[in-house]
Amino acid sequence: MEFEQIKDNISKCLTLIEEAKIRAGRKDAVTLIGATKMQSRELISFIADNKLLTDVGENRVQEFVDKYDFGKRLKWHIIGQLQTNKVKYIIDKAVLIHSLDRESLADEIDKQAKKHNIVADCLIEVNMGSEISKGGIAPQQLDELLAYVEDKDGIRLRGLMTVMPNLEDKEALKDLYKSFNELYETFKSTASDRHQIDTLSCGMTNDYEMAIEYGGSTMVRLGRVLFGERNYNLGDK
């Protein structure tokens, strides 16, 4: 896929995001995060140079580190599962960690944030589809992890994240998004004032309009619909 086509894809998705907001009667902002997994450094530079996006996200720490210098003007997110031994590499670079899902990871984020004299913004990842292959805690475990994080001064919670199951039954998916939004509102009312609960990260290529319209998403993470399939060559990897 040529870069100019990617430019058009981003523009179209931004339009669809605004239309989904209108259908939902929303006037708040929705951030488009470009999921750049297995995309090139050249693409990162193109996005930054042309100001096509403000935010990009990486699933893997190695790719995050390899590409970070090519898009320092961008806001970088960690949107994939995060191993505790990799936290130190991204703690002072990621504007938001989307995948906090266990106490050991909270311990390490807190430790590394304090080493850098910063507070790390994080989302708790929730596994709404109860899928073994996906990360995230069960919805009923949310209160427990929230309580555990409460004394971690190096962490500031910003909200919740989920990766929804790929359901053919769109009505069932709508219901899951509605349930996730309800969980978020309860979470928002429960979290202490030390946190800043304002972010709901959900919606990917197949369902981002539904995530905005029914889930109240404030961040959508789009890869394939913007950049095409991951196995094509865009230059220097």
pLDDT in tens, 159-205: 999 999 988 899 999 999 999 999 999 999 999 999 999 999 999 99
Overall average pLDDT of the 4-17 stretch: 96
71, pLDDT greater than 70: yes
Residue 16, CB-side half-sphere exposure with 13 Å CA sphere: 20
**Token pair 């580190």: residue:** 65
Average pLDDT over residues 60-73: 96
Could you give the CA distance from residue 89 to residue 235 in angstroms, rounded to a whole number?
25
pLDDT of residue 166: 87
137 neighbors 102 (Cβ within 8 angstroms) = yes
For 77, the 3-state DSSP assignment is: strand
Indicate the pLDDT class of residue 230, thresholds 50, 70 and 90: low
Choose among 147, 135, 138, 69: nearest CA to 97.
135
pLDDT in tens, 114-149: 999 999 999 999 999 876 667 899 999 999 999 999
CA distances from 214 to 23, 24, 27, 198 (A): 10, 7, 14, 17
Q: What's the whole-number average pLDDT of the chain?
A: 94
Asked whether the predicted pLDDT for residue 232 surpasses 90, the reply is no
22 and 217 Cβ atoms separated by less than 8 Å? no
